[in-house]
A and B are shown apart, each in its own frame.
Chain A
Amino acid sequence: MLLALAMASVMLFAGVGALWALAVLVVWCYSLWVGGRRVETGAPSPPFTPPRRDPGDAREAIAECIEQISLPLLLMDARRIIAANAGARAALGNHILGQDARISLRHPEAVRLLDLPDGTAVSIAGLSGPGRLWQLTKHRIDPSLWLIELLDRTGEVDMGRAHTDFVANASHELRTPLSAIIGYGETLVDDMGAENMGAEDIGAHYTGTMDAGTRARFLGVILREARRMQSLVADLMSLSQLEAEKHDTPTAPLDLGQVAARVVGEFAGNGPMRVTLERDDKKREPVFVDDPTKRHHAPARGDAPLSVAGDAAQLEQLLRNLIDNALKYADPEAAVTISLSADDRGMAVLSVADQGPGIAPEHIPLLTRRFYRTDPGRSRAAGGTGLGLAIVKHIVERHRGRLDIASQLGVGTTVTVRLPLLVPLPDPAT
C-alpha cells in the first residue's frame, strides 16, 4: 500500500499527470487485494479460519484508497454509487452513497456520461449549484466498476467573467472623474493661454481674466476628483484581488475580537465615543475602546477569543468599510455600535449598528451590487466609490460566512456578518 502511494506520488511529481498516477494507485490497491487473498488461501493456518472475502472487499479497499485523495472521485457499478471520497461528498452531498447515480447526479449531461464510452470527459455547468462548472471523466477499472473523476473548473470560468465585469464597470466609473479633471484643467490652461508657453513665462505673462477665487475652486475640483479616482482604483484593485482568491478559503486562525478592537481603535480618535465595541454575550457589558481604563474590564466570557479562520487584513477592511458607511450616511452625532457575540449554531456574529436614516426596503437586496447607490448624489458627495459593500460581500463569501442587512427607516441600519467559529465558546455557566 505504501509502495502504491509512493509510486503514485512519484508519478505525480514526474509530471505524468494526476490521472495516470491515480489509475496506478487504484490498480495497485486492487492487485494488493487479489495478492492478499492468494496468500491467505495458499497458506491457511489451522487454528484460524481465513476471513471470508467477497467482491465487496475490493470495493472497500478502493474506497479507502480514494478517500485520501483530494480530487473528488466516485466509484460506481453499473447503476449505483458505491463509494464517494470526501471531496465528492462535499460537492454532491452525503446522501449520494449507495444511491442510484441518476438520482445523485441529476444533471442531464452527467447522466448521459454514464452511457458514453469509457475515458470520455464532459463539462457540466451547474452540477453542484448554479454557476459552478465541473468536468467529469469516466474511467473503467474493472468489467463492472467505474471511477468518475470530478474536476472543479468554476475558478477558471469566473476569472474570465470577472475580467469582463471589471472592464465594463471600471470604464464607466473612471471616466466620470476623468472628464471633470480634463474639463477643468482645459479651462484653466485656456484662461492662461499657457498651452504653448514654457513654465517660467506663465508667471510673467499672465493674461487670463479668471480671478484667483475661481482658479482655486477649479483646482480644488481637480484635486477632489483625482482623489476620488485614487480611492476608486484602490477599491477596484481589492475587488479584483478578492475575486481572484474567491475559491481559496483562508485557513489561518485569528481572534475576531482582536481584529474588531484594532479597527475600532483606529476610529476612536475621530470623535468622542462615536464608535463603540461591545461583547454581546450572556452579560451585556460594553467595552468602550476609547476609554483605556475600561478596556480590560470585560466579563470573562466576553474575553473568550472568537476564533475564526480568516484573513486579518481583509476582515479589518470589512469592518472598516462597514464603520465608514455607518459614519458617512448616519447622523453625525449618533453613536455607531459594533457588537461581537457567538450564536448557538457555532457562528461568530459581528454587527455594526447605526442610528441613521435607514434604508428603504426596496434597496436592500441590491446594496451589495457594484456601484449601486440609493442616492447617487449624496454618496458621491460623501466620497463613496459605490464599492464598499460589494467588497464586504466578497470578503464574507470568501470566508464562507453570511451577510445580512436589516434596516428600518428613521431608526437605523444594522449590518450583521456571521463567520463560522473554529472553536466553540466555553459554556457561560462554567
Chain B
Amino acid sequence: MMTEHTVKAFDEDITRLRGLIAEMGGLAEVAIGEAMEALIKGADSVAAQVVARDKQIDALEQEVDRLAIRIIALRAPMADDLREVIAALKIAGIIERIGDYAKNIAKRTGKIEGRARFEPLTLIPAMADIASEMVHDVLTAYAARDPAMAVAVVERDAQVDAFYDSIFRNLVSFMVENPSTITTAAQLLFVARNLERIGDHATNVAEMVYFAATGDYLTDRADRPVT
C-alpha cells in the first residue's frame, strides 16, 4: 500500500482513478472473452453485446482523462504520485484500444461461414487464451503494483507472437488447399492479428505498470522479424 497523504481528498482521487482503470480493464477482459465466444459459436447476440458495451469503455476512458487532468491541475502531484497519474492516463488509452480489438473480433462473427466444418477455427481459442491471460495478469499486476508480475507478462508476449506466426502459416496453407474458404479464412487472419495486437498492448500496459511502480523504464524488447 502507498503511504497516505495529508490531504485525504487526494488519496480518494487516486483510489477513484485506479478504480476507473480497474473497471475499464474488467470490461475489456469480458469483451475479449465474449468476442471469442461469439466468434466460435456464431452467437450474433453476444457479438452485438460486445459492440454495444465498447461504448462504456470509451466513456470510462474520457472519465479517466478528465480526472487525471483535474488531479494534475489541482494537486500538482510529485514523484510516485505523478507517475501514478501519468501511468493511469496512458493505460486508459491502451485498454481502450484493447476493447476496440475485441469489438473488431466480435464484428467478424457473422462473416464466418460453415463454422462446424471449418477446421482452422479450432486453432484460434488457444491463442486467445494466452492473450486474455496476459491482459488479466497485467491488470492484476496494476492492482497489486507488482513490477515482477509485469515483467512476467512482457516475457509471455513471445508466446503470442509464436502462435500468430504458426496460425498465419497454417491459415495460408489451408487457403491454398481449400480456395473456396478463402473469404472465411482471411477473416480469421484478422482475428489472429487482433489477438496478437492485444498481446502487444498488454505488454505496453505492463511497461507502464513497471514504470509507475519503480520509476524505471523496462528496456525495449529486441524487434522481432516480421512474418
| Contact of A102 with B by CB under 8 A | yes
CB-based contact A131/B129 at 8 Å: yes
List the interface of chain B (C-beta within 8 A of A). 1, 15, 18-19, 22-23, 25-27, 29-30, 32-33, 122-123, 126-129, 132-133, 136-137, 139-140, 143-146, 159, 162-163, 165-166, 169-170
Q: Is the CB of A102 within 8 A of B144?
A: no
Task: Name, among B25, B29, B32, B133, the residue most crowded by chain A CB atoms within 10 Å (CB to CB).
Answer: B29
- Give B60 Cβ to nearest chain A Cβ, in Å: 11
Q: Which 8 A-B pairs have the closest CB atoms?
A: A95-B144, A106-B26, A102-B19, A130-B132, A103-B22, A362-B169, A106-B22, A362-B166
- Dominant SS at the A interface? helix
Complex CA gap A196/B148 in Å reads 75
Interchain CA distance A365-B166 in the complex, whole Å: 7
**Interface Cβ pair total, 8 Å cutoff:** 89
Identify the A interface with B (CB < 8 A).
92-96, 98-100, 102-111, 125-126, 129-131, 361-366, 369
Q: Which of B30, B137, B170 contacts A366 (CB 8 A)?
A: B170
Please determine whether B169 and A107 come into contact, CB atoms closer than 8 angstroms. Answer: no
**A369: which B residues are within 8 A, CB to CB?**
122-123, 126
B159 to chain A, nearest CB (A): 7
A241 to B144, CA, bound (A): 37
The interface residues of chain B lying within 8 Å CB-to-CB of A364 are 162, 166
B166 touches A95 (CB 8 A): no
CB distance from A154 to the nearest CB of B (A): 13
Q: Which residues of B contact A98 (CB under 8 A)?
A: 1
User: In the complex, which residues of chain A have a beta carbon less than 8 angstroms from the beta carbon of B144?
Assistant: 93-95
Q: How far is the CA of A92 from the CA of B22 in the complex (A)?
A: 14
Cβ B133 vs Cβ A130 within 8 A: yes
Given A100-B19, A361-B165, residue A106 in contact with residue B143 (CB < 8 A): yes
Q: Are the CB atoms of A362 and B143 closer together than 8 Å?
A: no
Closest CB in chain B relative to A416 CB, distance in Å: 15
- 29 example contacts (A-B, Cβ-Cβ < 8 A) are as follows A93-B143, A93-B144, A94-B144, A95-B140, A99-B1, A99-B143, A100-B15, A100-B19, A102-B23, A103-B19, A106-B23, A106-B29, A107-B26, A107-B30, A108-B26, A111-B26, A125-B30, A125-B33, A126-B33, A126-B136, A130-B29, A130-B136, A361-B162, A364-B162, A364-B166, A365-B159, A365-B163, A365-B166, A366-B126
Shortest CB distance B54–A (Å): 13
Contact B23 A108 (CB under 8 A): yes
Give the CA-CA distance A316 to B169 in the complex, in Å.
Answer: 35
Most buried by A among B123, B137, B144, B169: B144
List residues of chain A with CB within 8 A of the CB of B25: 106
- Bound-complex Cα distance A268 to B30 (A): 51
User: Given the complex of chains A and B, what is the CA–CA distance between A209 and B125 in angstroms?
Assistant: 53
Tell me, in angstroms, the Cα distance from A172 to B146 when the chains sit together. 46
Closest residue of B by beta carbon distance from A165: B122
Are B133's CB and A103's CB within 8 A?
no
With a CB–CB cut-off of 8 A, which chain B residues contact A366?
A: 123, 126, 166, 170
